[in-house]
Amino acid sequence: MPNDQNDKPPRPALNPGPANRFALVFFLIVAGLFAAYFMRGNAGAEAKEIPYSSFTAYLDRGEVDAVKILDGNMIEGTLKGSGGDTGYFRSMIPYEDPQLLAVLREKGVKVSGSVSGVTPLRILLEFLPWMIGFAFIWMMFRQAQGSGNKAFQFGKSKAKRYLEAGKKMSFADVAGQEEAKYELQEVVAFLKSPQKFTRMGARIPKGVLLVGMPGTGKTLLAKAVAGEAGVAYFHMSGSDFVEMFVGVGASRVRDLFEQGRKSAPCIIFIDELDAVGRTRGAGYGGGHDEREQTLNQMLVEMDGFDSKDGVIILAATNRPDVLDPALLRPGRFDRQVVVAMPDVKEREAILRIHAAKVPVSPEVDFARIARATPGTSGADIANLVNEAALFAARTDKADVGMEDFEEARDKVLMGVARKSMVVSVKERKMTAYHEAGHALLHYYLKYADPLHKVTIVPHGRALGMAMSIPEEDSYSRTKGWIKDRIAIMYGGWVSEKLFYDETTTGTKQDIQQATELARRMVCEWGMADELGPIAYGQEEEPIFIGKEIARHKDYSEDTARRIDSAVKAVLDSSLEAATRLLDEHKEELRKLAEALIERETLEDNEVRELLGMPPRPETSVFAIDATESVMASVESVAVPVVPESGGA
């Protein structure tokens, strides 16, 4: 039966490889040498070791028959035993005795002597400890090389090479991104038949930079290019170049391009290029650090005297603004391909690709799920499908149904429902009125997105949520939509004030988001009539940090007061609108809150039925909008998901 881990038959218990055989032979040789040494040492084991004083006493009594002097300090010999017996002895001469030979001659002792030569065995035994030490170091070095530790290869590239074995990735495996794939088709065509371009005198871009938000599929596109072209593909992260040892990064760059040159035509893909390609001279410690040496070497390799024909460099980053300008000039990364967030049709295609790997119920409507997930990336959708499969597996279902996808979407976009959390009756009631205030405004504000669901079941750090969904993907927002969004954010605060004449700490996030959105309306988007379309307070982003940590004050104190006044005017008008509408529909607000206390979660159709409103057409439902972190920028490619939360 195949092994579950790697489908390989179990290895025999005794199957010594070349390394093991060498170790065994080496051990036997060492053991033999030690045995020879001890046998040599024990060759005269029959001789009795006696003190030198005893030897002189035997000599004085005439009991010594013959002696042999070795190296001038060791004496061996035989004794005249009674009855003709002989005894062997050995003694060490502890001091210089010039009278010894005269006494031996006087006593008639037969004297012989020798100087022990330096034999090969003795030399071997003396050098044996050194040989063992060098052999141990050599074996450790070979083990480090063979085990993949690369202990002595700091300067070698850590690039992983993906061979063409098995199923190759192709553009068919990448849903959507038609414009990006069109741009990359030229790279594929050049790698397949470069003569078609060189004949016309055309030069293919040496480097292609994939720019997009995290999870949009930049790495996937690079693999698809390699699969379509059928060439070697080297993958390496930007952070893999930099080590604590000086010069390692530049050495790894050289080694990476050397590998690519040997495998040409090939593709070298560097993920997270901003880790090594940031603008030079922007660090705290000056301009000559290890990262900059690595970047300099990369610049030379990409466009130096030594051409790298057939080597295409692909790189991915979500921070092109911090890259060194020398990287982006023609001859290096002279083409930028934008990998955008998927639209509704592309989200549906991505859903179908990932859902093909799991058993899906025929009732699942992928178009509906795609409309319900605006602003999500391909990685988010893959995670959603996986979560839906996990939900179905927990309940022992045969396939993944629509309710599993709904639950997975809520978990991915809102967090895990904390149904076991103990909430007091009073706090639960206040949360219900807070969320009802958010939800009800969706039905009476002109530009508000349709409500999808309102719940008082805690999710993540929020005690409740009201979720709205746009009817279609939107790439920009109007002033009316933003003001209605701020009014919805104030809905919870106003509802608490109407029914309890006080507010809770659960309004903190709503107020923060409303204030930030109003300030951006005034300072960035020019939506304040009294100030006009002027940008105030340009953001400063230190390149070595890469975060917005400061806002440069490039205006006077008088202008600052006018900005504060304009921001307050926006907030006051939205708060007034929310207060007026909720006060006019106070009974509906009460009814909605009581229904939430009883049923915990209400969807749009249930709220409409409760309040006696006509049902919404099917084509306009499902997608989630929220109020948790207000749009990173309203003019961005996709509108992020924003939960309107109650308490934190």
* pLDDT tens figures, 378-422: 888 888 999 899 989 988 888 898 888 888 887 777 766 666 565
Contacts of 297 (CB under 8 A, 6+ apart): 249, 250, 253, 254
Q: What is residue 600's predicted lDDT score, i.e. its pLDDT?
A: 82
* pLDDT (0 to 100) of residue 421: 64
CA torsion angle for 603, 604, 607, 612 (degrees, to 10)?
Answer: -150
What's the token pair of residue 511?
């107020």
Residue partners of 201: CB distance under 8 A and separation at least 6: none
Determine the pLDDT at residue 121. 61
Q: Describe the strand order of the beta sheet including 160-162 as a list of residue ranges.
A: 160-162, 232-237, 266-271, 311-317, 207-212, 335-339
Query: By three-state DSSP, how is residue 245 classified?
Result: coil
- In the chain, which residues have pLDDT < 50? 1-16, 41-45, 83-85, 147-152, 154-155, 165, 285-287, 305-306, 540-550, 619-648
CA angle 259, 262, 264 (to 5 degrees): 105
458: tokens are 């805690």
Backbone torsions φ then ψ of 482, nearest 5 degrees: -65, -40
Closest CA to 51 of 82, 84, 95: 95
Q: Which pLDDT does position 512 carry in this prediction?
A: 92
pLDDT at residue number 81 = 64
**Three-class SS state of 473:** coil
Q: Is the peptide bond before 265 cis (omega within 30 degrees of 0)?
A: yes
CATH architecture of 47-114: 2-Layer Sandwich (3.30)
Per the CB < 8 A criterion, the answer to whether 383 and 424 are in contact is no
- 289: tokens are 């650090």
Query: Looking at domain 425-645, which of 1.20.1250.20, 1.20.58.760, 3.40.50.2020, 3.40.605.10 is its CATH number?
Result: 1.20.58.760
What pLDDT is attached to residue 611? 85
**Could you tell me if residue 547 is left (phi over 0), alpha (psi between -120 and 50 degrees) or otherwise beta?**
beta
The pLDDT assigned to 237 comes to 80
What superfamily in CATH does domain 160-339 come from?
Answer: P-loop containing nucleotide triphosphate hydrolases (3.40.50.300)
pTM for the model stands at 0.62
pLDDT of 286-315, one tens digit each? 445 677 778 888 888 887 544 556 788 889
By annotation, the residues acting in catalysis are: 435
On whether the 344-414 domain is CATH 1.10.8.60, my answer is: yes
